[in-house]
């Protein structure tokens, strides 16, 4: 049967040749993916594998009274049904439940007890010798519950919001108030005060979450897990089950998208390992698309933004508060409002962020977590203010441009947002925009132009990398990084090839294996600045080792040269004009003459935190878009988007452009399509399928023009790079909202902006939410205040 250890190793096509950082290089994993050689977490097989199918709760709160399993057990092929009643031994203490993104004790504990914490909670795992038998048997499991009252409706419970506690590492609570925001607001002549609402969104990567546990002869577990960090999954499993690291390997060499859903190990991992330990066999657990809606999501969020300006458009006050949902079991936090103290210069800023615990699964990071909501509300409010002041929206932003972060009193490491505004506006033709709404029309379509700003963090974590140069000239570099479809394989190989002066096809970058040198989670758009810097660092160490070898060759002038005098290019170490003259030796020759079959080294990249702390480090964007709104049907087409991005040095413009395009598509999707609706009587998400949870498709996507402005940031990383994963979507939905207003004169303050909201004057989100009967217990006046 299939061997578990034959993961295809992506490498550039022969003939690719020498590449530099900054070259547009096609992805090295492209062929493996389109030919199906790249195998994902659910595609690994072993002899005698057992297939697990999860049964989920149908109530939101209470406990399991009885589980009726006889009919399921009678299905031919069923070998076992696990639940809280018979699960194997696991660590009991909360503290053992930890992952790298959350405080110890935070994560959900599947099958821990008979308690039901949310609708969709895994309550049983049916194990059979075929997936089909397991799935059929799972449908026969009957459950009796003792039901309790649940609360899943954020807007009905805003008044019991609380300040977040037990914060995860890296979270910054809103800074203290500067000036006197309310007094400044009240005194200013121009005021905008509005509430914004965004419903729940679920990640819908192409690849469903899955874990395959391969039971080794010696009891060693090899787990293929869909994850944004193999080491995070290993951490979780080894803590929960008390398995030492050397008996457990987690792999994720290929991941079919994740967008944050894989930042934390999901219940499929715990259940698959539980079953494998219980049966002492290989087990695979794959979630269905419907089950993809039974763990983390982007939190439902209510916001109020108050902006005040002097008559000339100078911002006098910014007040921004957000109340988001969290779970009963933990406080999920994200940075929603802090951006409002950074993006514009203002002396009076007051920010607030609170949570409401609901009977849902805990929210989890989703692409540009926090910014996707917070900057959306701020940027729509800025647009509203531009009309109040009678100023072009771009001119208003330039007028209030912040050269430094006033709240923290820090400069930016680099900030080329002004260039984004200017170049984006020029590319779009923004200067041709008429000020008044409803002034452009073509047939039955109203046309509008809108713009917004985006910002995201430029983070750097720590990472290790390993490099070995073989006698045949092949370079293998490795780090336990992840490629969730973003291009890690390609960019890391490219950075290494550039550093060592090798052809791209001679460089292999290994990732997706917990036994590789430590790397952080692939999240927060930090992988290039982090792992890329570790890769360049390990190559520099390797160069020094090779140089030391060359200096031992007495017949060559390297002996008298300094390291600074040599270059690595075209497969050789080159000395130009040193004291002993010029010379070049191929790396293969060098290893041959030194009698080495390979030269290897390791490197630990630690960010220079003391230096970085003195700066705000962020990526920026300016998004311009055109919408066409059908006046009769309220349908919106986003016909043109220009996204101008400042994200430091771009390592690979071809892949970076894909990242930004993906972000823009997601922004269009957030603006027009995506929302998971709960039936609050059941406390359950209703549209848990791609038929009813709409995402932007090909027909929703038209012209997207991406441009990168010049930026080089050596404070964020030695590469000058910042990272491009999330900045692509921030501000996109706001630009669409603002364009819809420009087209129609209707201000829509909730996403998604579905046709009912667009075509019905005065159909605000409060009215709509109760009009369609899902706002159980909601009195719109209670939140309109
Ligand atoms: Mo991203 S939400 O950091 O995967």
The 3-state secondary structure of 368-401 reads: CCCHHHHHHHHHHHHHHHHHHHCCCHHHHHHHCE
Residue 258: helix, strand or coil by DSSP?
Answer: coil
- The residue written with tokens 């805003």 in the block is 158
Choose the weakest-confidence range: 169-183, 509-523, 628-642, 755-769.
Answer: 755-769
Q: Tokens 């991941």 belong to which residue?
A: 255
CA–centroid distance, residue 258 to ligand 1 (Å): 8
How far does residue 332's CA lie from ligand 1's centre (Å)?
Answer: 14
What would the mean pLDDT of 191-206 be, rounded to a whole number?
A: 96
The span from the CA of 653 to the CA of 549, in Å, is 36
Q: Provide mean pLDDT across the span 279-287.
A: 97
What is the pLDDT at residue 406? 82
Choosing from 102, 265, 335, 365 the residue with most ligand 1 atoms within 8 A of its CB, the one to mutate for a pocket test is 365
- Determine the angle formed by the axes of helices 267-279 and 230-241, rounding to 10 degrees: 50
Q: What is the pLDDT of residue 166?
A: 65
CA of 526 to the centre of ligand 1 (A): 9
Nearest-CA neighbor of 164 among 296, 324, 297? 324
- Closest Cα to atom 4 of ligand 1: 260
Q: Which of 261, 263, 520 to mutate to test the pocket of ligand 1 (most atoms within 8 A of CB)?
A: 263
User: In ligand 1, which atom is closest to the CA atom of 526?
Assistant: 3
DSSP per-residue letters across 396-462: HHHHTB-SEETTTTEEBS---HHHHHHHHHHHHTGGG--SSTT--EETTEEEEEEEEEEEEE-----
Burial class (CB in 10 A: 0-12, 13-18, 19+), 131: middle
pLDDT at residue 764 in the model: 52
Q: How far is the CA of 524 from the centre of ligand 1 (A)?
A: 5
Token pair recorded at residue 602: 């390791």
Q: What are the two backbone dihedrals, phi and then psi, of residue 557, each rounded to the nearest 5 degrees?
A: -75, -5
Task: Say if residues 133 and 78 touch (Cβ distance below 8 Å).
Answer: yes
Distance CA 728, CA 769 (A): 30
pLDDT-derived band at 577, boundaries 50, 70, 90? confident
- Residue to substitute in 232, 370, 524, 530 for testing ligand 1 pocket (most ligand atoms within 8 angstroms of CB): 524
Architecture in CATH of 463-606: 2-Layer Sandwich (3.30)
pLDDT at 770: 40
Average pLDDT, the chain: 94
Cis peptide bond upstream of 8, omega within 30: no
Q: How far apart are CA 378 and CA 727, in angstroms?
A: 16
Cα 394 to Cα 433, 462, 620, 645: the distances in Å are: 11, 38, 15, 16
Of the pLDDT bands very low, low, confident and very high (cuts 50, 70, 90), residue 783 is very low
HSE toward the beta carbon, residue 391, CA cutoff 13 A = 21
pLDDT of the residue at 106: 83
SS3 of residue 759 by DSSP? helix
Closest CA to 143 of 76, 84, 209, 75: 84
% of the chain surpassing 70 pLDDT: 96
For residue 630, the cross-strand partners are 445
The residues spanned by each domain of the chain are: 50-149+205-293, 415-458+613-770, 463-606
Of ligand 1's listed atoms, the one at least distance from the Cα of 262 is: 4
Which residue among 203, 367, 663 is best mutated to probe the pocket of ligand 1, counting the most ligand atoms within 8 A of its Cβ?
367
**Coil, strand or helix at 619:** strand
pLDDT tops 80 at residue 686: yes
Q: Which atom of ligand 1 is nearest to the CA of 366?
A: 2
H or E segment at 467? strand 463-470
Better-scored residue on pLDDT, 361 or 769: 361
Tokens found for residue 765:
């989100």
Rounded to 5 degrees, what are φ and ψ at 239?
-75, -45
CA of 522 to the centre of ligand 1 (A): 7
DSSP label of 174: P
| Residue of 226, 259, 333, 663 to test ligand 1 pocket, by largest number of atoms within 8 Å of CB | 259
Give residue 67 CA to ligand 1 midpoint distance, Å. 37
Q: Please give the pLDDT value at position 2.
A: 41
Sign of the torsion formed by the C-alpha atoms of 256, 262, 266 and 270: positive
CB 649, CB 494: distance < 8 Å: no
Question: Do 623 and 714 touch, CB atoms closer than 8 A?
Answer: no
C-alpha of residue 530 to centroid of ligand 1, in Å: 15
Give me ligand 1 centre to Cα 364, in Å.
Answer: 9
pLDDT tens per residue across span 729-780 = 999 999 999 999 999 999 999 999 999 999 876 555 444 444 333 333 333 3
Question: Is the pLDDT assigned to residue 450 strictly greater than 70?
Answer: yes
More confident residue, 169 or 337: 337
Secondary structure letter of residue 178 according to DSSP = B
**Pick the residue with more confidence: 66 or 94?**
66
Instruction: Using the mean position of ligand 1's atoms as its centre, give its distance from the Cα of residue 261 in Å.
Output: 8
The atom of ligand 1 lying closest to the CA of 365 is 2
Contact 40, 256 (CB under 8 A): yes
Atom index in ligand 1 nearest the CA of residue 261 equals 4
**How many angstroms is it from 372 CA to the middle of ligand 1?**
12
**Quick one: which atom of ligand 1 is closest to the CA of 523?**
3
Do domains 415-458+613-770 and 463-606 share one topology? The answer is yes
Q: Which atom of ligand 1 is nearest to the CA of 484?
A: 4
Q: Which numeric CATH code is attached to 50-149+205-293?
A: 3.90.1170.50
Q: Which residues are catalytic?
A: 726
What pLDDT is attached to residue 96?
A: 82
Atom of ligand 1 nearest to the CA of 228: 4
Residue 407: pLDDT band (50, 70, 90) is confident
Judged against a pLDDT cut of 80, whether residue 261 lies above it is answered with yes
Alpha-carbon distance of 39 to 420, in angstroms, equals 39
In the structure, which protein residues have their CB atom closer than 6 angstroms to any atom of ligand 1?
Answer: 228, 259-260, 263, 365-367, 369, 523-524
d(CA 87, CA 80): 11
Among 3.30.365.10, 3.30.2350.10, 3.30.540.10, 3.40.630.30, name the CATH number for the domain at 415-458+613-770.
Answer: 3.30.365.10
Would the pLDDT of 5 be above 80? no
Query: Does residue 717 surpass a pLDDT of 80?
Result: yes
């Amino acid at each position: 049967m299939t061997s578990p250890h034959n993961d295809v190793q992506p490498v550039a096509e022969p003939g690719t040749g020498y590449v530099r950082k900054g070259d547009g290089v096609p992805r090295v994993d492209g062929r493996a993916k389109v030919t199906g050689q790249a195998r994902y977490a659910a595609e690994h097989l072993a002899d005698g594998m057992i297939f697990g199918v999860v049964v989920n709760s149908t109530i939101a709160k209470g406990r399991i009274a009885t589980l009726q399993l006889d009919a399921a057990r009678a299905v031919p092929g069923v070998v076992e049904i696990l639940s809280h009643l018979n699960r194997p031994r696991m660590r009991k203490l909360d503290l053992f439940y930890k992952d790298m993104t959350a405080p110890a004790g935070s994560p959900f504990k599947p099958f821990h007890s008979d308690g039901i914490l949310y609708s969709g909670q895994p309550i049983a795992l049916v194990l059979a010798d075929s997936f089909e038998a397991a799935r059929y048997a799972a449908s026969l499991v009957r459950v009796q519950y003792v039901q309790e009252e649940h609360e899943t409706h954020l807007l009905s419970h805003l008044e019991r919001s609380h300040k977040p506690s037990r914060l995860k590492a890296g979270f910054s609570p809103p800074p203290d108030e500067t000036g006197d925001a309310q007094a400044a607001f009240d005194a200013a002549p121009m005021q905008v005060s509005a509430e914004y609402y965004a419903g729940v969104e679920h990640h819908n990567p192409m690849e469903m979450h899955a874990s395959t546990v391969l039971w080794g002869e010696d009891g060693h577990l090899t787990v293929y897990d869909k994850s944004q960090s193999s080491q995070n999954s290993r951490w979780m499993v080894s803590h929960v089950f008390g398995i030492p690291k050397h008996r457990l390997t987690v792999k994720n060499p290929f991941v079919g998208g994740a967008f944050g859903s894989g930042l934390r190990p999901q219940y499929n991992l715990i259940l698959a390992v539980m079953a494998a330990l219980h049966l002492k066999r290989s087990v695979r657990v794959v979630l269905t698309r419907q089950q993809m809606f039974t763990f983390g999501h982007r939190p439902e969020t209510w916001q109020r933004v108050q902006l005040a300006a002097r008559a000339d458009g100078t911002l006098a006050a910014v007040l921004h508060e957000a109340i988001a949902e969290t779970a009963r079991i933990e406080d999920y936090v994200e940075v929603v409002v802090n951006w409002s103290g950074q993006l514009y210069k203002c002396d009076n800023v007051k920010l607030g962020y609170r949570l409401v615990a609901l009977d849902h699964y805990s929210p989890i990071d989703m692409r540009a977590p926090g910014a996707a909501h917070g900057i959306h509300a701020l940027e729509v409010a800025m647009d509203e203010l531009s009309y109040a002041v009678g100023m072009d929206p771009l001119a208003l932003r330039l007028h209030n441009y912040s050269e430094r972060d006033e709240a923290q009193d820090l400069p930016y490491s680099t900030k080329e947002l002004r260039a984004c505004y200017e170049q984006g506006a020029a590319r779009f033709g923004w200067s041709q925009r008429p000020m008044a709404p409803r002034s452009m029309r073509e047939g039955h379509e109203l046309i509008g132009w809108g713009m917004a700003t985006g910002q995201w963090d430029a983070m750097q974590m720590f990472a290790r990398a390993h490099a070995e140069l073989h006698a045949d000239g092949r370079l293998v570099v490795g780090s336990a990084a992840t490629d969730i479809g973003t291009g890690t394989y390609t960019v890391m190989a490219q950075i290494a090839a550039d550093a060592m002066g090798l052809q791209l096809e001679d460089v292999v970058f290994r990732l997706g294996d917990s036994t590789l040198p430590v790397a952080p989670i692939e999240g927060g758009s930090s992988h290039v600045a982090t792992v890329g810097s570790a890769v360049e660092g390990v190559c520099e160490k390797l160069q020094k080792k090779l140089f030391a070898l060359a200096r031992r060759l007495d017949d060559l002038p390297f002996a008298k040269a300094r390291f600074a005098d040599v270059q690595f290019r075209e497969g050789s170490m080159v000395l130009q004009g040193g004291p002993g003259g010029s010379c070049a030796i191929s790396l293969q020759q060098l290893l041959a003459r030194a009698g080495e079959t390979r030269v290897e080294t390791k490197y630990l990249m630690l960010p220079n935190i003391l230096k970085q702390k003195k700066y705000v480090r962020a990526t920026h964007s300016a998004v311009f878009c055109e919408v066409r709104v059908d006046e009769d049907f309220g349908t919106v087409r986003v016909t043109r988007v220009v996204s101008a991005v400042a994200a430091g040095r771009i390592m690979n413009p071809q892949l970076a452009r894909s990242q930004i395009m993906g972000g823009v598509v997601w922004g269009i999707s957030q603006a027009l399509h995506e929302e998971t609706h709960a039936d609050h009587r059941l406390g359950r998400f209703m549209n848990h399928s791609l038929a009813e949870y709409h995402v932007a498709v090909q027909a929703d996507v038209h012209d997207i023009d991406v441009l990168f402005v010049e930026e080089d940031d050596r404070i964020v990383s030695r590469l000058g790079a910042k990272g491009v994963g999330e900045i692509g979507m921030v501000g996109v939905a706001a630009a669409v909202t603002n364009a819809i207003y420009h087209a129609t004169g209707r201000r829509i303050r909730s996403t998604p902006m579905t046709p009912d909201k667009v075509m019905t004057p005065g159909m605000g989100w409060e009215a709509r939410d109760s009009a369609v009967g899902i706002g159980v217990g909601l009195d719109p006046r209670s939140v309109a205040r």
